[in-house]
Structure formats: structure tokens, C-alpha cells
Chains A and B, each alone.
Chain A
Amino acid sequence: MGEKRLPKHVAIILDGNRCWAKKRGLGTSKGHKAGARKLMENVKDCLPLCFLHRKLGKTRVNGLMFMFEEYLRSERHVFRREKLKISFIGNRTKIPQSLLGLIRETEEATKSYEGKHLIIAIDYSGKFDILQACKSLAKKAKNGLIQVEDIDEGMMDKELMTNCSEFPNPDLLIRTSGEQRISNFFLWQSAYSELYFTNVLWPDFGNAEYLDAFTWYQQR
């Protein structure tokens, strides 16, 4: 591939699990399982940094939460072996207690790992991220820690949920399954990201597809 200009931070909108299942006459939970499996494969094989996004449909929340719990438990050894730091970003208020506990455990267990960082976005929205950053800054201003006039882009960067990362802004944002929109994923953070849209469904997105995306990125 060549070391010339590989993205340091890749963000991915994992779209297409349900479509993939429908095409094969399977139930949607099989689609999500295939998607999760593909996620674990990709994490093992490549990226130094990877953002993932899971949009939550109202009717399918419980099944997805259960699946997350299952995978976090079963893939613990992978995180250890790959020395993968795991962080979660999103609105934690809607996540069930059992999953929340597991998330805290996983973050704690992997926090000292460096080099590879996987950030998983659950119930995340770009606008929500900016709002919570705004509230945090408003609180600091109220407590006299900062002046409102001094608020700038740098201060916002530090308050956004991506402040858990050394490289908060993705160089490359990939969305699978053909939709050509950001769907309120990273708004602030993708100001200068190269946007790559592909018709391939997420469970089919493997090494060859990554190669295509990175080759495309190198040509920008």
C-alpha cells in the first residue's frame, strides 16, 4: 500500500446490515450479527483508529443493546491481544445499566493501551455533541473559569466527545450501503474530512474494500 499518506483517523458509518440480511432472506438480527463480526475482523486486521457509528432505530434498540453486550464480553481477549484502546461516545442516558457497566469496564481495562484506538459511537449525534460542549462551556463561564468572549474553535474541540482521542477529526469518513449523507454523525469533526461513499453493504466491507478506500484517499 505504501506508507505515503495513510489516514490517521478513519470514521465509518456502518450502514447496510438490515439490507444485507433482507437480500439473503434472513432476519435483521442476523444482519447486525454479521455487521458486528465484520467490525471485529476489520479491527484485527487494520486500522490504527476507527470510529464507528450505530444509528438506533426506535423499534430495534433492545436487540442491538443485547448484541453489544454479547460482543463486548466475547471479544475482550481480542482487545487485550491487539492492545486496542476502546472508548465509547454518545448519549449514555438511554443505554441500559448492564451495558453501561460493561462499557465502563471495557474502557477502564483498555485505557492504558496506545497505538490503536477504537471509538464506538452509540446513540451519538453531531448536534448533541456540540450541544453538550456548549453546556459545558456555559457552566465553566458561569463558574468564572473562562470568559464567554474567549470561547473559540480550540475550546470547542476540547469539550467535544472526541477529546478522548489524540486525532479527534477524521481524515477519511466512509459510509457504506450507498446513502450519500452524513446523517448527523460527525458534523464539527468532519469539516475537512474526505468523504467516501460506497454501495457495498457493511457486512461485505472487507480488506479489498478498505484498499479501495485508502487508494482513493491517497489520490485526493
Chain B
Amino acid sequence: MGGGIRQLLEQVHRLSRRCLFRVLSMGPLPTHLAFIMDGNRRYAKKRGLEDGSGHKAGFSALMSMLQYCYELGIKYVTVYAFSIDNFRRKPEEVQSLMDLMLEKIKSLLDKESIVHEYGIRVYFIGNLGLLNDQVRAAAEEVMKATAKNSRVVLLVCVAYNSTDEIVQAVKRSCVEKADRDVERIQLVDIEENMQMSVAPEPDILIRSSGETRLSNFLLWQTGNSQLFSPDALWPEIGLRHLVWAILNFQRSHSYLEKKKKQL
């Protein structure tokens, strides 16, 4: 009986979301949304839970957010899952995060996973050599298995930070132009060598938990992105925050288009 009511409620939610998204789609929609998923540990502390539960709750919030984005028709979503700086945390925490990541990465290959439901192509972006063999192998397997998907894209930044990405791109550009005139290195050369070049630049960057720092995430790519910092901790993030971000995007988008025409 309870299960039936739950199913019914879910259907109602889905239907009302579809109506809401239809209204939102009448205005311009972002092509690419990026998230800094901040606040998992604070969430666990707030609820008096043990540390790992915050990250688990964070993962559920991520799945919901991905569902909303792809239902709305947003093609690219990028998430900051694990920064190179995070390796400096306590070893037990790093290990438990790696274990959680391994479990969740493997689950993406399940038939019932969101990857299959939405035809997601998954990229893992970062210095993957810094990960342990198991996590790296699982990530590579998911990238291979989803390589043919083309409807929507999920970019998971893990063992990533932007200055590292830029340095690697600079090194590659230097090597490529070593035999030729180095004066002819252009922005496009560096851009092509960026790991994130598989996606356009994010239209919106959302950082949860009220912090207003980029924390070395997508520095090159978010030069023109609209930045939002809702106070909600990541596990508390919901549909209303996404809708709010998109409404603000639509408001400033029409202003920007006007400005572009003036120039």
C-alpha cells in the first residue's frame, strides 16, 4: 500500500516537473552547468551522523540534480568530485572517499543506472594517475562503456584542479610547438590541450554551502560563467535551487544579448 502511494507521488512529482520545465524551456536554457558539491561533511555534522554519511547523502543529491538537468534538456553537466587538494585530508577520510567513489563509479555500469536511462557519456577529468589502480580502472571502464552515448554528457572532475589542468595543457603546447616558432602559440592551442575541451564552457557555476570561491575549479572555463552560491549544503540542494539559477540565467542572458548587439 505504502509502495503504491510512493509510486503515485513520484508520478505526480514527475508530471509537475515536466510542466515546470516546459515553462522554463520557453526561455533560453544553459547548455552546460557546473557544480561544486560543497558541504557534505558539514551536513553530517549538523545531523549528528558519522562522517561518511554526508558524502552518501551528497551522492543522492547529485543523482537527483543530474536527473533534473537531463530532464530539462541540459546537455553538459560537470561536477567537482575530488580535488587534488583533498588528498591532503586525513588518510582515513581520503580512503573512505576513494572506497565510496569506487562503489559509485561501478554502479554507473548497472543497467538501472542513470547512465542508461539518459544515455549519458561519462568523462573523468583530472590527473587520474594520482588515483589508486582500482578507482582508475573503474573510471576508464565507464568511459569506454559510455563512449558511444551522445545524448547528454557528465564530466566528473576527480584528482583535478584547474592550475594542474592548465600546466599540463601549457606543457603539451610547448612540446607541440618545440620545432616551430613559439611566438605562434595561440589561445586555441592551449584550449585544445585542455582536458575539458570535450565540452563547451559552463554557462552557470553553482557552489553549494554559501562559499564564494572557485577553489581552483575550471578557472580557464568559467571566465564568463554566471556564479551562484546558494546557502544550502550540497545534500540539501534541490529543484528550487536549479530553477532559481536558471531564472537568473535567463534574466541576465537577455541583458547580455542586448549588450552584444550594442557592441
Q: Which residues of chain A have C-beta atoms less than 8 A from B175's C-beta?
A: 148
Q: Which of A138, A153, A179 contacts B167 (CB 8 A)?
A: A153
Beyond A131-B190, A181-B224, A191-B219, whether A196 also contacts B212 by CB under 8 A is: yes
Q: Which residues of chain A have C-beta atoms less than 8 A from B177's C-beta?
A: 138
Tell me if A111 is interfacial: C-beta within 8 Å of chain B.
Answer: no
B173 contacts A138, CB within 8 Å? yes
- In the complex, number of A-B residue pairs with CB atoms less than 8 Å apart: 109
Tell me if A156 is interfacial: C-beta within 8 Å of chain B.
Answer: yes
Beyond A142-B182, A181-B224, A188-B219, whether A153 also contacts B187 by CB under 8 A is: no
Tell me if B92 is interfacial: C-beta within 8 Å of chain A.
Answer: no
A187 contacts B220, CB within 8 Å? yes
Type the 1/0 row for B170-213, where 1 means its CB is closer than 8 Å to any CB of A. 11011101100011011100100000000000000000000111
A137-180, CB < 8 A from B: 137-139, 141-142, 148-149, 151-153, 156, 179-180
B223 contacts A187, CB within 8 Å? yes
Q: Could you give 30 example pairs across A and B, Cβ below 8 Å?
A: A126-B219, A126-B220, A128-B187, A130-B190, A130-B220, A131-B186, A133-B170, A134-B185, A135-B183, A138-B178, A141-B174, A148-B175, A180-B226, A180-B227, A181-B223, A181-B226, A182-B224, A182-B225, A183-B224, A185-B223, A187-B223, A191-B161, A191-B162, A191-B163, A191-B215, A191-B216, A191-B219, A192-B214, A193-B213, A196-B212
Given contacts A135-B185, A188-B219, 15 further A-B contacts (CB under 8 A): A126-B223, A128-B187, A130-B190, A141-B178, A151-B170, A153-B163, A181-B223, A181-B226, A183-B223, A190-B214, A191-B161, A191-B219, A192-B214, A192-B216, A194-B213
Taking Cβ atoms with an 8 Å cutoff, the residues of A that contact B are 57-59, 125-128, 130-131, 133-135, 137-139, 141-142, 148-149, 151-153, 156, 179-185, 187-188, 190-197, 220
